[in-house]
């Protein structure tokens, strides 16, 4: 209960930034629904996102911006478990297009969750992500993402919602509503199939017209490949402003927990890994 009260106080303290204003162009370096799973205490994890936009936007979102069509986007992510309710992470997003490598700065995140969230039927948390972005990808240099996490699961299904607020600071800044959701079914141990939905409605209080909003639906599968966790999906854009065809992947690896036996090794269960619940094989959903 003490840990839960501490988590609630963090959420309340973080509420004021929601009143700020910003605006950001969205890259596709990370496409995932956070499930409140985190690394073990003292454990390092590494995950690689690689997403290819087969049919995307041919016009940049702003003058001099990055047009997504035929681009490979991704980021390595490094995470470390501080406690059983707190994890820190670092992203180094990039894009490759026309044989040119483009850096999109860096992102730092701090994630707070209900302890042992990957073993709970009802789980929750909140992630704060602070970013420095390059001019090619955003009109604002500094941004912040506030991502609440609410989810339910049983022996066969899981349903997760991330009602995200995406904030940028500066002259062109605004606060956008960009929710994500996931529903998945367990077929057998270490194998899941499901649907993931990602959207960007635009500025809070002045949503964009439907044709200018981003809405993308992905068919996804999660599985193990040796000691690696893999999430693979194919997405279809539902509006003109959405990338029409996107292929996404997440490959995760968890280093052994210091002092733990080899058989006690956990999965690469960082916030962005859809397979966090697989580390709880001996625990019912």
Q: What is the pLDDT of residues 61-70, one digit of tens each?
A: 999 999 999 9
Q: What percent of the chain has pLDDT over 90?
A: 76
Determine the Cα–Cα distance for residues 17 and 161; give it in Å rounded to an integer: 21
Q: Return the SS3 of 10.
A: helix
Q: How many other β-carbons are positioned within 10 Å of the β-carbon of residue 241?
A: 18
Indicate if the pLDDT at residue 142 is higher than 70: yes
Query: Worst-scoring range by mean pLDDT, 119-123, 126-130, 168-172, 262-266?
Result: 262-266
Q: What are phi and psi of 35, to 5 degrees?
A: -115, 10
pLDDT of amino acid 139: 92
Supply 197's token pair.
Answer: 């939905």
Supply 80's token pair.
Answer: 């470390």
Closest-CA residue to 139 (of 165, 178, 174): 174
Its sign, for the CA torsion 247, 36, 27, 73, is negative
Indicate if the pLDDT at residue 18 is higher than 70: no
pLDDT of amino acid 285: 32
Mean pLDDT across 109-135: 95
Non-local (6+) Cβ contacts of 16 within 8 A are: none
Q: Which residues pair with 90 in a beta bridge?
A: 78, 108
pLDDT band at 37 (very low <50, low <70, confident <90, very high): very high
pLDDT of amino acid 215: 98
Closest-CA residue to 104 (of 131, 69, 71, 70): 131
C-beta of residue 95 within 8 angstroms of C-beta of residue 72 = yes
Query: Worst-scoring range by mean pLDDT, 83-97, 211-225, 253-267?
Result: 253-267
Mean pLDDT across 219-238: 97
Q: What are phi and psi of 17, to 5 degrees?
A: -60, -20
Please give the mean pLDDT across all residues of the chain. Answer: 86
pLDDT band at 259 (very low <50, low <70, confident <90, very high): confident
Its sign, for the CA torsion 11, 16, 19, 20, is negative
pLDDT of amino acid 26: 57
- The DSSP call for residue 93 is -
Determine the Cα–Cα distance for residues 261 and 266; give it in Å rounded to an integer: 11
pLDDT of amino acid 108: 98
Its sign, for the CA torsion 126, 147, 37, 91, is negative
pLDDT band at 171 (very low <50, low <70, confident <90, very high): confident
Q: What is the model's pTM?
A: 0.84
What string of DSSP letters covers 200-248? E-EETTSPPPGGGSEEEEEEEEEEEETTEEEEEEEEEE-STTS-SEEEE
pLDDT of amino acid 189: 87
Per residue in 54-95, pLDDT (tens digit) is 999 999 999 999 999 999 999 999 999 999 999 999 999 999
pLDDT of amino acid 19: 33
Indicate if the pLDDT at residue 185 is higher than 50: yes
């Amino acid at each position: 209960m003490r840990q839960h009260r501490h988590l609630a106080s963090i959420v309340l303290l973080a509420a004021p930034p929601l009143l700020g204003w910003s605006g950001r162009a969205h890259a596709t370096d990370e496409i995932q629904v956070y499930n409140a799973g985190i690394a073990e205490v003292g454990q390092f994890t590494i995950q690689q996102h690689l997403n290819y936009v087969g049919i995307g936007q041919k016009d940049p979102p702003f003058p001099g911006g990055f047009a997504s069509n035929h681009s490979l986007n991704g980021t390595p992510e490094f995470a470390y478990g501080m406690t059983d309710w707190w994890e820190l992470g670092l992203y180094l997003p990039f894009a490759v297009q026309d044989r040119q490598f483009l850096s999109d700065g860096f992102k730092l995140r701090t994630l707070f969750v209900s302890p042992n969230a990957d073993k709970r039927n009802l789980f929750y948390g909140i992630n704060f992500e602070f970013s420095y972005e390059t001019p090619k990808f955003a009109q604002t240099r500094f941004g912040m993402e506030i991502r609440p996490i609410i989810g339910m699961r049983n022996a066969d299904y899981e349903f997760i919602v991330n009602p995200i607020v995406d904030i940028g600071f500066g002259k062109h800044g605004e606060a956008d509503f960009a929710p994500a959701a996931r529903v998945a079914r367990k077929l057998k141990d270490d194998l899941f199939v499901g649907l993931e939905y990602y959207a960007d409605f635009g500025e809070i209080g002045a949503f964009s017209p439907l044709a200018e909003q981003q809405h993308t639906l992905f068919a996804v599968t999660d599985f193990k490949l040796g000691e690696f966790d893999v999430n693979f999906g194919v997405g279809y854009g539902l509006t003109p402003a959405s990338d029409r065809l996107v292929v996404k992947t997440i490959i995760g690896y968890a280093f052994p927990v210091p002092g733990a036996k080899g058989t006690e090794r956990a999965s690469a269960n960082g916030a962005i890994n859809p397979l966090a619940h697989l580390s709880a094989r001996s625990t019912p959903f």
